[in-house]
Amino acid sequence: MSTQTPGRVVVVGGGMVAHKFADELCRTSPDGDWTLTVIGDEPSAPYDRVHLSEYFDGRSPEALVMDQTPWSDPRVTLVIGDAVDRLDLDQRAVVTRSGRVEPYDNLVLATGSWAWTPRTEGTDLPGVFSYRTMADVVGLREWIALRSEKLGRPLSGAVVGGGVLGLEAAAALQKLGASATVVEFADRLMNVQLDAGGGEALRVLITDMGIDVRTATGATRLGPAGDGPVATMDLSDGSTIPADVVVFSTGIRPRDRLARESGLAIGDRGGVVVGPTCRTSDTAVWAIGECASFENEATGLVAPGNAMAEVVVDQLFGGRKTYERFPEGTKLKGVGIDAASFGDIFALTPGALEVSFSDPVAKTYKKLVVSDDAQTLLGGVFVGDIALYSSLRPLLDRPLGADPSAFLAPEGGGGLPSVDLPDDVVVCSCANVTAGTVRDAVTHQGCMNVGDVKACTKAGTVCGSCVPLLTKIVNTTLEKNGIAVSRAMCEHFEMGRAELFELVRHEGLRTFTEVIGAHGTGRGCAVCKPVVASILSSLGFGHVLEREHAAIQDTNDHVLANMQKDGTYSVVPRVPGGEITPERLMVLGEVAQEFGLHTRITGAQRIAMFGARIDQLPDIWKRLVDAGFESGQAYGKSLRAVKSCVGQAWCRFGVQDSVGMAVKIEMRYRGLRSPHKFKIGVSGCARECAEARGKDVGVIATEKGWNVYVGGNGGFTPRHADLLAEDLDDDGLIRVIDRFLAFYIRSADRLQRTAPWVAEYPGGIPELRKVLVDDVLGIGAELDASMAEHVESYEDEWRATLDDPEKLRRFVSFVNAPDQHDPDLAYTSERGQVRPARPGEKADNNPVIARHLEVRK
């Protein structure tokens, strides 16, 4: 690179691409003689807009703020909350709304885009939002809280636009307690990213979430409630839906006003015209990200913007790097449903072939688009199961290396593609990092794990979808370099959990002191202590609150309850199969009323009570145990619940007694400690109302018996379970589940759920079937015996605790003042119940709060 210096650089815009530019400039020239001023109109430092929806999962605005390192460089100045109002190209200066004048030698426009809203009557009414900025999501949350409290009911929400952000917005409405209807003018959801088959599969999944979907229609008018805020939405099909809150997510437009008014060239479809160097029609001005129009098209993703930022930094120092459009991929996130696509999804390439697989029972759809000789990968669509997305996307426009149909087979017959990708394949498109760069970081930069590679290359630090592939490349490179990939649990144990489990089991070790004395060093830590505690519990070696066992438990296990955000605890009794008598139901209501607890029905068909102080837990559980309830293990790494439909007993489609089987399964595996929590579902027919294939173990009734699926889960990375065995009788079903859980508990890694354990098992489901069903290793009887021992030795943890004065001594708010309670607990009311007051909220002075405080004295 030449000694050319960029001089005074000014960036207009304070988003993710501006942050990338600042970071790249600092990294490229750590000691150079230049200055950088970044001016953003939003009131905060650049934040992670890609994960904006995580705000509704409890992630604070501060947690979304991006790495602050670039702003600590003395050559860099970050200006926030002051929009640039004018560009003076002749004087080479920008003027902000506050009157600040900032001269430049090089100006970079990173103004991004704005949320476009169609001309619909009523869009200016209170309660109508866009879904683009932090202010948008904060305002949305505040509106729903205030409006629902005023109306005294949950709000009816509507989202105009069925694209990625629209679906994220609909999921956000649900998380905030409102209903959601998605209105999409096109004939399918995500119509730009999904074909007809993928769109229909996504519709089914979204509808299953309780979100209403209206396609091939549009919003024509928003109606107010009298002279007040929005209340209804008229649709182009003639219908009207209630809409107390409306979110528009109908596309974006480049923010190019400053460029237009300054006389810079603007693309036919908007955006500042740039060439391969990202230079505009003024040689001192550059444009990057969503405001730039390259080849008459403006991108709407962060990855191309980051690539443009790298190009401009290189150009500023005399480099020759240029920007080339690369095929964009899209991944749905923040909704709880998997959907992703990349490349030529509509098979527009001449001669392109489409290979697809649809599973209506599993509710998955996969399609690959390949060249006419079936050799070159041109595109892919995945709905319901996107495990192949991160591995196949880097192979776009390259040889696939296998029969396309093999990748889409129900059990992954072709397996994942090799991670031995060519060096020039882009692994992380967000940071534009190639496989070669990752290997170089390991081989020549001293990176010894994925964390090191992330810090060195920035790969995997934006959307995170490439991390599984990144991990495999890092580990493979380490092994090729003769470096053993560490399986150590922590600095106190050189082996992983599975190896330690076998040692403890064979040697009969009973305490943490014995385990670390025999196979570890030091005194242990927050990583290994809970692991050993879990192993000892899985093997039935004592109650979790026995003297030494108690000291090594994870946070919630210390008091057999889940701690909540205000320091109180939840109480979740077991309700086997979701079946409960009226008498026990009344007991729960009486307990909640007596102790002033917030109640809700969980997705696992249980009743949870929130807001119990630690000193109240024994009294609450005494009432529940006396009524025949047991601990629901909501706090432990163990069986949470077995969800069921009503099955043959009530449903006209049921072919087996799913409730009876669910109760039998839950009572068999209750209290079973494992590497991670696990859930089971039992459906009485193929209609799958218990959503069994979204569970760690899923049981689905057939006319001949039961099919059992394993390795599924919901949560942050949903995955459908794979078929392990079919048409089993009752005893055969229990035997297969026994062996699966016992084998998982033995061989899984620390905090590894069944889904990744199954996915990573050598040979996958076919090999697991040989081990668990065909017993090729001859360990079936041993696995059967270990589960039988668990069933025989089970005791309810709360009943045992109530019978032991020593264990009860830990249930006090303050050890040195056992009769005192936390004075900082503050509450407000919402929908007729109490909840913890948020920072800045004052506790309500109303009958609900008054009664709650009275019963808690």
CA 762-766-767 angle, 5° bins: 45
The radius of gyration of the chain's CA atoms, rounded to the nearest angstrom, is 29
Amino acid at 261: E
Q: What is the DSSP string of 53-94?
A: GGGGGT--HHHHB---GGGGSTTEEEE-S--EEEEETTTTEE
Q: Which 3 state secondary structure label does DSSP give 489? A: coil
Question: What whole-number distance in Å separates Cα of residue 442 and Cα of residue 433?
Answer: 14
Using an 8 Å Cβ cutoff, are 163 and 190 in contact? yes
DSSP-based three-state secondary structure for 176:
coil
The token pair at 805 is 């004065």
Residues contacting 169, CB < 8 A, separation 6+:
131, 159, 161, 247, 249
Q: How far apart are the first and last CA of the chain?
A: 72
User: Amino acid letter at 723?
Assistant: L
Q: 219-251 burial, b if ≥16 CB within 10 A, otherwise e?
A: bbebeeeeeebbbbbbbeeeeebebbbbbbbbb
Burial 14-29 (b: 16+ CB within 10 A, else e): bbbbbbbbbbbbbebb
Task: Provide the residue type at 41 as one letter.
Answer: D
In DSSP notation, 593-636 reads HHHT-EEEE-TTS-EEEEEE-GGGHHHHHHHHHHTT--B--TTS
Contact of 110 with 21, CB cutoff 8 Å:
yes
Give residue 409's identity as a one-letter amino acid code.
A
Burial of 444 (0-12, 13-18, 19+ CB in 10 A): exposed
Distance CA 729, CA 739 (A): 16
Neighbours of 312 (CB within 10 A): 27
Please give the structure tokens belonging to residue 186.
């096109």
651 is in an annotated binding site: yes
* Whole-number Å distance between alpha carbons of 252 and 112: 10
- Pairing between β-strand 353-359 and β-strand 364-370 as defined by DSSP bridges: antiparallel
The total number of residues shown for the chain amounts to: 857
Greatest CA separation found in the chain? 85
C-alpha distance from residue 784 to each of 146, 734, 779, 807, 839 (Å): 55, 10, 9, 32, 52
Tell me if 645 is assigned to a ligand binding site: yes
Contacts of 406 (CB under 8 A, 6+ apart): 413, 414, 415
Residues in the annotated binding site: 645, 651, 685, 689
Residues in the annotated binding site for [4Fe-4S] cluster: 645, 651, 685, 689
Residues in the annotated binding site for siroheme: 689
